[in-house]
Structure 1
Amino acid sequence: MDELRRIDLNLLLALHALLTEKHVTRAALRLHKSQPAVSHSLAQLREHFNDPLLVRKQGKLELTTRGNALLQPLSEALTNLNTLLGTPQFDPLHAQRRFRLSLSDYAARLVMPDLMRYARQHAPGFDFAISQASRDAMLVQLADGELDLALGIFPELPQDIRVETLFEEDFICLADKATIREKGSLSLEEWLARPHVMLALKPDANDEIERALAAKGLKRRIAVTLPHWSAAVELLPGTDLVLTIARRAVGPVRSFRDLRQFAPPRQLQLPKMAYQQAWHARKDRDPALAWLRQVLMNGCNPL
């Protein structure tokens, strides 16, 4: 306990905000303090830890080795302390909390409308900050304490990341009606011969479709790569492009009168996907996050 006597515990809250945000102004906004006050706290913390903690590189603040080593145990300690000091009975109707979630526009369309309607009625003090990132980036942000919850497909998980499956999803194909046989589909050869739209946050991503093709020694031509699920469908009318996409991402195909939906070639054997919510083990005892996970689970009924 001697080390605790040597530091103002409020400085630990400032340290967590600085290490998480990597930005003095954003940390000040998060703490509801002035920027000079947070800069002063950073100076005190640097003196206490005998380390700069954050250093400027190419115009941005980055964590030092010491700062990076402090982030996870500090997040765990503050979460445990908050649970200890909090009220024993969690009441979402009167609780206040800001959740940081990462999910694609596909997931946002699926879960956010129902979540907002439910939360505004049953937890009006809860706020939600939504970001979008790649699968790998989401896992890093969960580990670093920058996210409370991430939604996506996580075939490989690092230690201390927990997941729950919200629903299973499968693939469908979409193309302009004029380029597809009446009530038909495409053979594997025809499918491979067509130019494709690929949904990915960065080019050359290795998604479930690419892995299925690689396993059979096949390759398709990617004519367009983009990260926007909703915009991808709009590219198809009047072209020979094919989009292979998660079924729930499309909604009613009758909304797209120029398009035809069909199954991917059977030879591809595209697997069903387990769409999951992921969080870090340090938040297992967070009652507000447990409430949110259950609300999402209840809202994701199978089609």
Structure 2
Amino acid sequence: MRHMNNLRGIDLNLLVVLDALLVERHVSRAALRLNMSQPAVSHALARLRSLLGDPLLTRQGGGLAPTIRAMELSKPLAEALAQIRTVLGPDGFEPGRTRHTFRLAMSDYGAEIVLPNLLRELRRSAPDIDLAVMQLSREGMIAGVMDGDIDVGLGVFPSLPEPILPEHLLNDDYACLVDRATLPPSAQSIDFESYLARPHALVAVHGEASTEIDAAIHAAGYARRVALIIPHWSVAPKTIAGTDLVLTVARTSLKSTLQDDRLVVLPPPIPLPTIPFGQISHRRRRSDPALRWLREMIVASVAAAAPLSGFG
């Protein structure tokens, strides 16, 4: 409480600016979050530095790095502001009348599940809300949320550090994609021996070679040959046509291949775990009304995007 006692007498608006700067670690992004001008945020930071007798944030690369004093203030400040927002209610963010930019990270698999319905609803009910979407690896999304560089990460996260707040959105299943011409006529499955004999294509954002699929194969005492590693879910199915490659991916990502008569979707020949797709954000922003609204919008958008079912 010693640090919070030092904040007595400081304008509450300055504390809101400090909290945004500690989350964003960037003046322009904090300004967007607060719907303020960059000069106004810079002026508020100068006042905070003077009042608290500490630089608070110093330039580092393209952003700002918190001082030790700022890091000590971060958690009690976020908790205090969260309590105030709870008392005042959720009306601090009005999506239909607020200009705001959210930063999201996801693969093109996640984008296909989330973005179509989300964008339609945003353009209908919150046209001044903008999205900046980037593609990062699983580890990159976690780091981005931890550092405040992104608001929400969407993907599959087997393990997460304690500061990360997860939310489950849907379960998907694995399916295999092969060229129909490489199968016996009317084949509705592929046996494990034939599966392992084929070269495999793997979707990995930054070239990671180990997956949940390989863990299951290794547990059975075998290994597969990965002949192609590609970062794009949407392009991967197109690489299978006319080859002997087999692609094992989330079934929902194969939606577009249903229009290609050359390809067939089959069940995996080995039991594989379900794919728990979810969203992550930082726990310190649990009470942020803007972020809470966005997460709720994402939940509704995913619920409206029914996963694929069946094979063939």
TM-score by length of 1: 0.78
Residue deviations 1:69-122, cap 9 Å, x none?
555555555555556567648654445443332221111112211111122223
**Aligned partner letter, 2:139:** D
Task: Report the counterpart of residue 249 of structure 2 in structure 1.
Answer: 245
Q: How far is 1:249 from its partner? A: 0.5
Percent identity, please. Answer: 39
Task: Report the counterpart of residue 142 of structure 2 in structure 1.
Answer: 139
Q: How far is 1:296 from its partner? A: 3.0
Q: Identify which of 252, 268, 274 aligns with 1:272.
A: 274
Q: List 4+ stretches of structure 1 deviating above 6 A.
A: 28-31
Q: Identify which of 194, 198, 201 aligns with 1:197.
A: 201
In 1, are the aligned partners of 2:27 and 2:38 still within 8 Å (CA)? Answer: no
Aligned length: 299
Bigger mean CA deviation after superposition, 231-240 or 244-253: 231-240
Change (3 A) 1:72 1:233: farther
SS of match in other structure, 2:279: strand
Change (3 A) 1:295 1:94: farther
1:188 aligns to 2:192 (yes or no): yes
- Counterpart CA distance in 2 for 1:221 and 1:300 is 33
- Counterpart CA distance in 1 for 2:182 and 2:25 is 51
In 1, are the aligned partners of 2:31 and 2:37 still within 8 Å (CA)? Answer: yes
The 5-angstrom pairing of residues 224-235 of structure 1 reads 224-235=228-239
1:217 aligns to 2:221 (yes or no): yes
- Counterpart CA distance in 2 for 1:49 and 1:198 is 53
SS of match in other structure, 1:113: helix
Q: How far is 1:240 from its partner? A: 2.2
**Aligned partner letter, 1:249:** S
In 1, are the aligned partners of 2:106 and 2:133 still within 8 Å (CA)? Answer: yes
TM-score by length of 2: 0.76
Task: Report the counterpart of residue 174 of structure 2 in structure 1.
Answer: 171
Stretches of structure 2 that go unaligned for 5 or more consecutive residues are none
The two structures, once aligned, show a CA RMSD in angstroms of: 3.6
Change (3 A) 1:70 1:230: farther
Task: Report the counterpart of residue 115 of structure 2 in structure 1.
Answer: 112
- Counterpart CA distance in 2 for 1:291 and 1:279 is 12
- Counterpart CA distance in 2 for 1:254 and 1:49 is 63
Q: How far is 1:175 from its partner? A: 2.1
1:153 aligns to 2:156 (yes or no): yes
- Counterpart CA distance in 1 for 2:185 and 2:261 is 14
In 1, are the aligned partners of 2:33 and 2:100 still within 8 Å (CA)? Answer: no
Change (3 A) 1:204 1:298: closer
